[in-house]
Amino acid sequence: MVVPQGSLGTWDWKSIVGNMFPLLVVLSLIVLWAGVTLEAAEEGLETFAILAVMVPTMVDMGGNLGAILSSRLSTRFHLGTTELDPRDRVLWANVAAILALAATIFTALAIGAAAIDHVLFDATVGFGPLLLISLVSGMSVAVIAIVFSFAATYGSYRLGIDPDDTTIPIVTNVVDVFGMVIFIGVSRAVLGF
Amino acid sequence: MSVRRDFWSIYREALPILFVALGGGLFAGLVLEELVESIQRFPGLFVMIPVFLATRGNVYGALGGRIASGLHQGLIEPRFDWSDRLVNAVLASFINGIGISVVIGFLTWVVLEWVLRWEAVAALSELVGIMLVAGVLTSFVMIAGLLAIIFAGYRYGYDPDNLVGPIVTTLGDIFGMLFMLFAVLLVGAIL
């Protein structure tokens, strides 16, 4: 098979697969840790069914927050509008917005979960503990997402790597793992299983 | 004053997207809860779930980002056609999406059996089989759905960059879990 050279450039399927697949395998190995934590909490998930319902959101939301912040930071680096100066007040607006988004969305998660818990599982856990679990794990993940986003964007910028290509997937997956592990840990502590 | 304005603009832009993702996540969670009983039948099943969900975002987020850039640069047209670029991008996503699913099944088995030395692990063929079925079905729905929504959104004047993230997270969670449930039932019935 003759592959047209040059015309397709980075759109050639072999170059896309060749660039991405090794990264996907590495990321899978990292996230596997989250999976082991999840399965080890099997008894808790059987007793408190609502925890299983919260799992996909806990896996994704930290990564979503990290992705929003990372892409904003990398755009600012590309535009040369920031030098990561702690006196840069726009950076603090970004951080504050991420924390506010986390507080809002994890409160909403607790409300949604409590409603499902009430309707389907006879309110086994109740709103109070769900809010505590959701907010403590959610806000911890948000802080981790912020720290990782800054470190990765700044680090890749310094090393001359485009943060859009590799660091954002890495940051979001690492934050996903923390989301899972922290969620199971906090649930264990609050519900005692 | 500008700090407060920045704060609210970021908050307002991102919140609707995150709420869409939250709705998708809760629905996916209900499907996942159906799978809890299946851990006894397939020990190791739950280890694969976060990995499977996370890779959906990686593979199809990359495809969406590429299509969005391609539309912006005028390299591809906002419709399904047999243009070289679109075909290559779609083919690469199929290979990445299905390939990594099979690798996840394999890696999970290897890590549980040989590294962590769990006493009971589902057979390699069962874990790989579940991932293969779930991976193939998800890739068809994700690629077709993602392209259809991005193309339609682009023609109606939405910036595809703002569409990709929430579509991938929401569709990926919902269809990833639905097809995983289907794959568990199918493999449970056959093997």
Amino acid letter, residue B130 = I
Please answer whether residues A186 and A41 qualify as being in contact, where contact means their C-beta atoms are separated by less than 8 angstroms: no
- For an interface test with A, which of B2, B8, B10, B84 has the most A Cβ atoms less than 10 Å from its Cβ? B10
Residues in B closer than 8 angstroms to A177, CB to CB, are: 50
d(CA A46, CA A165): 39
Round to whole Å and give the CA distance between B47 and A26: 16
Determine contact, residues B71/B150, Cβ cutoff 8 Å.
yes
CB-based contact, B39 to chain A, within 8 Å: yes
Nearest to B141 by CA among B186, B175, B169, B110: B175
Q: What is the pLDDT of residue B142?
A: 95
SS3 B33: helix
pLDDT of the residue at B152: 92
Q: Quick check: A12 and B62 CB within 8 A? A: no
- Do B44 and A39 lie within an 8 Å CB cutoff? yes
Annotated domain spans of chain A: 61-191
- A42:B88 CB<8 A: no
* Residues B13-23, mean pLDDT to the nearest whole number: 89
Sorted by sequence, the CB contacts under 8 Å of residue A116 that are 6+ apart come out as A50, A53, B26, B30
- Separation between Cα atoms, residue A55 and residue A183, nearest integer Å: 8
Using pLDDT thresholds of 50, 70 and 90, give the confidence band for residue B22.
very high
- A21/B99 Cβ within 8 A: yes
Q: CATH second-level architecture of A61-191?
A: Orthogonal Bundle (1.10)
**Cα distance between residue A182 and residue A63, in whole Å:** 14
Tokens of A64: 């979503």
Q: How far is B22 from chain A (nearest CA, A)?
A: 6
pLDDT tens, position by position, B120-137: 899 999 999 999 999 999
pLDDT of residue A153: 82
Q: Find the domain containing B169 and state its range.
A: 20-190
pLDDT tens, residue order, chain A (193 aa): 444 444 577 889 998 898 889 989 999 999 999 899 999 998 899 999 999 999 999 888 888 888 888 878 877 777 776 566 777 788 888 899 999 999 999 999 999 999 999 999 988 899 999 999 999 999 999 999 999 888 888 888 788 777 766 777 778 888 888 888 999 999 999 998 8
Distance in angstroms (rounded) separating the CA atoms of residues B51 and B70? 28
Helices B160-190, B2-35: axis angle to 10 degrees equals 10
Per residue in B55-91, pLDDT tens?
Answer: 888 899 889 888 988 888 889 999 999 999 999 999 9
Whether B174 has its CB under 8 Å from any CB of chain A: the answer is no
CA of A21: how far to CAs of A168, B46, B60, in Å?
16, 23, 13
Percent of chain B residues past pLDDT 90, beyond the cut: 60
Cα–Cα dist B55/B58, whole Å: 5
Classify residue B25: in a domain, yes or no: yes
How far is it, in rounded angstroms, from Cα B19 to Cα B44? 31
Q: Which residues have C-beta within 8 Å of that of residue A163, sequence separation ≥ 6?
A: A70, A73, A74, A77, A152, A153, A156, A157
- Asked if residues A42 and B39 have their Cβ atoms less than 8 Å apart, the reply is yes
**B17, B46, B95: residue with CB nearest A42:** B46
Q: Is the Cβ–Cβ distance between A59 and A26 less than 8 Å?
A: no
CATH of the domain at B157: 1.10.357.20
- Residue B32 banded pLDDT, cuts 50, 70, 90: very high
Selection from B93, B91, B87, B84 nearest residue B65 by Cα? B93
* B69 φ, ψ (degrees, to nearest 5): -65, -40
pLDDT attached to residue A133: 97
Q: What dihedral do alpha carbons B11, A144, B68, B174 form, nearest 10°?
A: -90
Q: Is residue B135 part of a domain?
A: yes
Question: A1: helix, coil or strand?
Answer: coil
Tokens at residue B68, please?
Answer: 């969005």
Q: Chain B contact for A3, CB < 8 A? A: no
DSSP A87-118: T-HHHHHHHHHHHHHHHHHHHHHHHHHHHHHH
Q: Specify the pLDDT at position A83.
A: 64
Alpha-carbon Rg for chain B, nearest whole angstrom, is 19
The verdict on A167 touching B (C-beta cutoff 8 Å) is no
Query: How many domains is chain B built from?
Result: 1
CB contact under 8 A, B21 and A57: yes
Domain-embedded: residue B181 = yes
* Placement of tokens 């059987």 in the chain: A46
Among B17, B63, B72, B88, the residue to mutate for chain A (most A Cβ within 10 A)? B88
